[in-house]
């Protein structure tokens, strides 16, 4: 993910330069794709910045991250991302998590009509992923996998008596 700092998604000119440099570094490592996002102070996709960063990233895949959940008009923002040629958008439908935002995610999938992948993310767990898939029409999800493979040499130590089994430490 190319994001120079926590907080809002309105980058300064120097942060945009840092993002572009990070993309160049990732490109040199031959990663398959990048996740990025930039908004304007009035709650829209920053089309100029996103176009600049997307151009810098190609031919890698480009995903617009959950900054999308902060836009004021998701339908208009989705059209901006389609026009920019973004490959996918990561969203919880503007809700705190994808399960709560599943109706909005469904509307985005219908609006996208295959022109961009709507990637559901935020709070996706084994217990809710089937409902999210069924109710939204997404074909991709981004979530946490709260288990460990015990035989893996880099697995964290086994939980103590006060920790829940199967959770990463």
Task: Render 121-148 in DSSP notation, one character per residue.
Answer: ESS--TTTHHHHHHHH--SEEE------
- 46 within domain boundaries: yes
For the stretch 68-90, pLDDT in tens is 999 999 999 999 999 999 999 99
pLDDT of 4:
87
Report angle CA 2, 94, 101 to the nearest 5 degrees. 120
pLDDT of 160:
46
- 5 within domain boundaries: no
**CATH code, domain with 60:** 3.20.20.380
pLDDT of 26:
96
- 63 within domain boundaries: yes
Q: Which residues of the chain have pLDDT under 50?
A: 159-169
Containing structural domain, residue 87: 13-142
Supply φ then ψ for residue 16, to 5 degrees: -65, -40
pLDDT of 154:
58
Whole-prediction pTM: 0.83
- 157 within domain boundaries: no
pLDDT of 157:
53
pLDDT of 148:
63
Our count of domains for the chain comes to 1
- 19 within domain boundaries: yes
């Amino acid at each position: 993910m190319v994001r120079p700092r926590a907080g809002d998604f309105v980058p300064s000119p120097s942060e945009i330069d840092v993002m572009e440099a990070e993309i160049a570094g990732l490109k040199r490592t031959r990663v398959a794709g990048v996740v990025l996002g930039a908004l304007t102070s009035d709650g829209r996709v920053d089309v100029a910045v996103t176009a600049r960063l997307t151009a810098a990233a190609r031919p890698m895949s480009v995903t617009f991250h959950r900054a999308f959940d902060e836009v004021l008009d998701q339908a208009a923002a989705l059209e901006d991302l389609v026009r920019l040629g973004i490959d996918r958008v990561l969203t919880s439908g503007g809700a705190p998590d994808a399960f709560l935002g599943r109706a909005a995610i469904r509307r985005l999938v219908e609006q996208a009509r295959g022109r961009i992948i709507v990637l559901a993310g935020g709070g996706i767990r084994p217990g809710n992923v089937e409902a999210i898939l069924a109710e939204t029409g997404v074909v991709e999800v981004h979530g946490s996998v709260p288990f460990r493979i015990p035989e893996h040499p880099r697995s964290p130590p086994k939980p103590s008596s006060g920790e829940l089994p199967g959770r990463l430490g």
